[in-house]
Amino acid sequence: MTMRLRNRLFHFLNKKRRRSLAACILLLAAGFISASFGLIRLFDALSYGFLRSSGNVEALSITFADLIVSILITLPSLVFFVGAYLMLNSHSLGWKLSCVMTVGAISLFFSHSVNSELLLVMGVLSAAASVIEISGLKSLDMNDSPVTTEKLGRFVLALSGLICVGVLVGMLVYIGVRGEKYLSMGFVTGSWSWRHAEDVLSNVIPGSIGGIKDYIIGSFLLVTVCEAVAIPLGLGAAIYLAEYSSDNIVTDIVRFFIETLAGVPSIVIGLVGMSLFLWQLHWGTSLLGGGISLAFMILPWNIRIAEEAMRAVPESYREASVALGATEWQTVRKVVLFASSPGILTGILLGLGSALGETVVVMLTAGMSATTVQPSLLHAAVPSLPVWIYSAQFSLLGGGGEGRIAQIYNVMLTGSFVLVVIFLAICGVTLILRNYLTKKITGK
């Protein structure tokens, strides 16, 4: 192993790659300096959280937030390390990354957003590495190695996935730690009173702050009405666009407006829904008005994803069905829809998540003052969990300064944790169903 390393080093130096080696060392030095910012913050967070907190939830939440920040601060050092690896392998992306990090470090230094002379040192080191590498481009015969590019691509993709998973896990842990004091089975199954919760938070009376059962039920009712409207409409439009319409300017215009609807801000949909259902139809704040407004908000997700899923079904499926004597509608209903059902479920799930967490549309069309569910589709406000989370900052304000604000924040995070867990449970059930359908379709 040692002999192989020596041979590789000798071979590297014999090829006149000394410039790349020097540039690599400079970038490594800049990377270690960059990593020091996050490592110092990390050690401080651990010291505060595990040596001084003694199990205090507030201190633990601050510690966790500092851990996340320290990791984010450390991430830029990976760019320096990747650049050093690329320069060592004479990859053209190495000096390009070095130039980018030079501009970034020097810009941060002169913008005074981060007060540290180490930023200037990092900029000078990466600039020197860039100059060394660029000055030797002609003699290096820099041909990007496919192996190096492949390794870089795998690393970046793996890091992207890790960051996405880390964001979700970190968010769950953070809101779970902050809301641990109020989280219990009674919080999920009990009834809610703003006056009672305010008295408990003010230490006027002992006990739990109450439960959000009615708000959870109200959210489920709104989502049920929403999907009852959105799924038939979205699926019908998707079937027409994918199976019956021809590719012409009319269908292109229809797709354009569907995609435009997906980008309309929720406040606009809420205002239009309020004008239509509350003022024109005189429904008042209601379950039906809120559900239909949410349906039109998520309709583009259902249409576009279902259409793409149906277009992905092989044409041979349709030909085999027609050859057996099935009509076009029978082919669509029994073959195409079944084969594309995993993709359709994905679109429904994305729309459901958007509807379940929507706040503005629900406040404007379904109301925000209700505390119990009324058995009525019209003329009765509907409580919902996102609106409860938003309303807590106003309804529980009271007095008490920063201590009360921290309490309210933790109560809001407790409700947020319940909302996220509900959505994750729905995702889990949908994933199991999707995998079952995929296995049944493919036989694997």
- Are residues 405 and 328 located together in one domain of the fold? yes
Number of domains in the chain: 2
- Res 228 pLDDT > 90: yes
- Are residues 108 and 225 located together in one domain of the fold? no
Q: Which range of residues forms the domain containing residue 168?
A: 12-178
Count CA within 13 A, CB hemisphere, residue 439: 6
How far is it, in rounded angstroms, from Cα 313 to Cα 339? 7
Question: For residues 8 and 31, which has the higher predicted lDDT (pLDDT)?
Answer: 31
The domain boundary, picked from 125, 152, 178, lies at 178
Confirm whether 101 is domain-assigned: yes
Mean pLDDT over residues 169-186, rounded? 84
pLDDT of residue 49: 59
pLDDT of residue 435: 85
Mean pLDDT over residues 187-194, rounded? 87
Q: Which of 365, 355, 337, 341 is nearest to 227 (CA)?
A: 355
pLDDT of residue 134: 77
Question: For residues 43 and 328, which has the higher predicted lDDT (pLDDT)?
Answer: 328
- Res 224 pLDDT > 90: yes
For the chain, the average pLDDT equals 82
pLDDT of residue 196: 84
Mean pLDDT over residues 217-235, rounded? 92
Q: 110, 131 in Cβ contact below 8 A? A: no
Range from 114-128, 137-151, 335-349 carrying the lowest mean pLDDT: 137-151
- Res 159 pLDDT > 90: no
pLDDT of residue 56: 63
- Are residues 163 and 217 located together in one domain of the fold? no
Mean pLDDT over residues 218-243, rounded? 92
pLDDT of residue 5: 60
What tens digit of pLDDT does each residue of 238-256 get?
Answer: 999 888 888 788 888 888 8
How far is it, in rounded angstroms, from Cα 94 to Cα 148? 11
Cβ count near 176 (within 10 Å): 18
- Are residues 338 and 257 located together in one domain of the fold? yes
What tens digit of pLDDT does each residue of 362-371 get?
Answer: 999 998 877 8
pLDDT of residue 10: 59
Mean pLDDT over residues 327-336, rounded? 89
What tens digit of pLDDT does each residue of 64-118 get?
Answer: 777 777 787 888 888 888 888 888 777 778 878 888 888 888 887 777 666 577 8
Confirm whether 372 is domain-assigned: yes
Q: Which of 355, 429, 420 is nearest to 174 (CA)?
A: 420
Cβ count near 386 (within 10 Å): 23
Confirm whether 222 is domain-assigned: yes
- Res 152 pLDDT > 80: yes
Confirm whether 30 is domain-assigned: yes
Question: For residues 252 and 10, which has the higher predicted lDDT (pLDDT)?
Answer: 252
Mean pLDDT over residues 350-365, rounded? 89
This prediction has a pTM of 0.79
pLDDT of residue 394: 81
Question: For residues 412 and 375, which has the higher predicted lDDT (pLDDT)?
Answer: 412
- Are residues 436 and 322 located together in one domain of the fold? yes
Confirm whether 333 is domain-assigned: yes
Mean pLDDT over residues 190-207, rounded? 83
Q: 225, 296 in Cβ contact below 8 A? A: no
Range from 177-191, 226-240, 262-276 carrying the lowest mean pLDDT: 177-191
- Res 278 pLDDT > 80: yes
The domain boundary, picked from 122, 154, 178, lies at 178
- pLDDT more than 90, % of the chain: 16
Q: Match 């944790």 to its residue by tokens.
A: 417
- Res 52 pLDDT > 60: no
The domain boundary, picked from 178, 204, 228, lies at 178
Confirm whether 197 is domain-assigned: no
- Are residues 138 and 260 located together in one domain of the fold? no
Confirm whether 246 is domain-assigned: yes
Helical residues (DSSP H) of 264-400, grouped into ranges: 266-273, 287-311, 315-323, 328-331, 337-339, 341-356, 360-365, 385-395
pLDDT of residue 129: 84
- Are residues 164 and 248 located together in one domain of the fold? no
- Res 9 pLDDT > 70: no
pLDDT of residue 406: 79
- Are residues 53 and 113 located together in one domain of the fold? yes
- Are residues 168 and 91 located together in one domain of the fold? yes
- Are residues 261 and 324 located together in one domain of the fold? yes
- Res 353 pLDDT > 80: yes
- Are residues 379 and 246 located together in one domain of the fold? yes
- Are residues 219 and 114 located together in one domain of the fold? no
Q: pLDDT category, 273, cuts 50, 70, 90?
A: very high
The number of angstroms, rounded, from the C-alpha of 224 to the middle of its chain's C-alpha atoms is 23
Confirm whether 4 is domain-assigned: no
Q: What CATH number did the domain enclosing 278 receive?
A: 1.10.3720.10
